[in-house]
Amino acid sequence: MRFFSATKATGPQRLLWSRDIRFAHRLAQAIDDGQVLELESGTVVIGPAAELTDALAAEIAAQVRSPAYGIASLDTSLPEGERHITALSEAVLLSGLADRIGMAPSTQVIQTKTLDYFFSLRNVHQIAFQPIVELSSGTLYEYECLFRPNMPMLPQSITAIVHAAIDTDRSIELDAFIVGLILARAGELERTRREAGLPSLRLAINFTPASLLDSQFEAKALAAMVNAAGLSPRNITLECTEQQAVSDVVPLMKQVKALRRLGFGFAIDDAGAGYASFTLIAALHPSIIKIDREIAHGIARDDAKQALVEAFVSFGRRIGARLLAEGIEKRSDLAMLTSLGVDLGQGYLIGKPSFVPLPPRRMETLRLDAARRTVSRKVSQKVAAAVPKPRPRTVHAK
C-alpha cells in the first residue's frame, strides 16, 4: 500500500487514523501541510509532528462528538512505505477499534505496542504516595510509592502494564523506567523538605524478583542511584512483588543480604497469596511482611483469616520481621488487626494515595468513631429488647 508517492516534509511526521471522515478532514485543515487519505477502513491524516499533536486532536475531537482515533509517529529509519504501514497499524491499535476492522494483532504484539506507547510518555506519568502507619500509635512510618500510568489514547492500569512487561520479557526495562521516575520525583520532594526543615521521607518502592537480580540493580549500583537522587538507602524499603515465581531463591537471598547491609529495608509483598509462601519468606528474611489485602478485608468477622494472621504474627516475630496489613478500609478490621498484633497498616481508611505525601488520618479519631459506633449499636439493641412486643390478637369465629 502506497500512501503518498512523494513526501516533501523534512522534519518528524505523525499519522492519525479515525473512522470519522469529518473529524479527519477538519483536523487536516487545522495544520499546515496536512495530507488526507481515505481508506476502506477509515481516514488517515499525515502531518508535521509539531502540529499534529495529541492536544490538537483532542480539541477537534471534542467538537465532533469525540470519535475514536489513534496517533503514531513515523519511524524514519524504515523505508517510506513500511514506515506508513507500521504507523497505521499502531494508530489503529491505539484507537481501540482494531477488532472491528479486522486488524487485531496477536496478544504479544498488542502488549509490545502498549509498552512502547507507555515508555514514550515519560513526562506525563505520575507518582502517588500512600501513608503507612504504626497501628499501635498511628505514627507515620513511610509512604508506598504507587505508579500511576497516564496513557490518554490507551488507558491502562499499572497491573496490566506489569503483566504485559512480564509476558514480553521486559519487566527489567519497566522497573528501570519506573524506579528512575520515582527516584527523580522523590529527590525533588526531599530537597523541598530539607529547605523547609522537615524530616526526610521514608519510601517503599516495588520491584519484581527478576529486576532485583539484574546487574543494573546490583546492591551497590542501586545504592548509588538512590544517593544520586539525594536520598538515603536507610530510608528506602524495597518491596518484592509476587508477580513472578522464583525458580532459584539462592541468588535472591544473596542480593537481599547485600541490600540489607547497605541499609535498605526489604519487604515481601502480598504474603498469603501467589508465590509469597512461608518457605520463601523464611529464606529471604525480610524486614517487613505485607499481608495480602484479601486477608485483611473482612477479617473482623472471619475466624479463619484471624487464625492465619495470628500465624503470620508469630512467624514474623520469630524471624525478626514486622507485619504490615494493606487494604484496610473498615474500622472493625483495623481494630481486629491491631488486637492481633499487626505492626503496620495502610489503606483508604488510614490515607488515600495522593500526588504529594499527605499525613494519615489520626488514629485516635478512627478508634473514637469505632467506639461510638459500637456503643450506639449496643444501645439500639438494648432499646429494641426493652420495647414490649405487641401481643397477637385472637380472632373469634362468629
pLDDT at 64 over 60: yes
Nearest one of 4, 94, 83 to 57, comparing CA atoms: 94
Cell of 3: 500512501
Higher pLDDT, 79 or 283: 283
In which band, very low, low, confident or very high, does the pLDDT at 375 lie, cut at 50, 70 and 90? very low
Nearest one of 39, 16, 13 to 28, comparing CA atoms: 16
pLDDT at 300 over 90: yes
The lowest-confidence range among 42-46, 247-251, 307-311 is: 247-251
Domains of the chain (ranges plus CATH)?
Answer: 13-104 (3.30.310), 120-375 (3.20.20.450)
In which band, very low, low, confident or very high, does the pLDDT at 379 lie, cut at 50, 70 and 90? very low
pLDDT at 382 over 70: no
pLDDT at 2 over 50: no
Average pLDDT over residues 93-101: 81
Average pLDDT over residues 156-181: 90
Quick: pLDDT tens for 134-148. 999 999 999 999 999
pLDDT at 84 over 90: no
Quick: pLDDT tens for 225-246. 999 999 999 999 999 875 555 6
**SS3 letters for the chain?**
CCCCCCCCCCCCEEEEEECCHHHHHHHHHCCCCCEEEECCCCEEEEEECCCCCHHHHHHHHHHCCCCCEEEEECCCCCCHHHHHHHHHHHHHHHHCCCCCCCCCCCHHHHHHHHHHHHHHCCCCCEEEEEEEEECCCCCEEEEEEEEECCCCCCCCCHHHHHHHHHHCCCHHHHHHHHHHHHHHHHHHHHHHHHHCCCCCCCEEEEECHHHHCCHHHCHHHHHHHHHHCCCCHHHEEEEECCCCCCCCHHHHHHHHHHHHHCCCEEEEEEECCCCCCHHHHHHHCCCEEEECHHHHCCHHHCHHHHHHHHHHHHHHHHHCCEEEECCCCCHHHHHHHHHCCCCEECCCCCCCCECCCCCCCCHHHHHHHHHHHHHHHHHHHHHHHHCCCCCCCCCCCC
In which band, very low, low, confident or very high, does the pLDDT at 329 lie, cut at 50, 70 and 90? very high
Quick: pLDDT tens for 311-325. 999 999 999 999 999
Average pLDDT over residues 165-194: 94
Per-residue confidence (pLDDT) for residue 156, from 0 to 100: 82
pLDDT at 200 over 50: yes
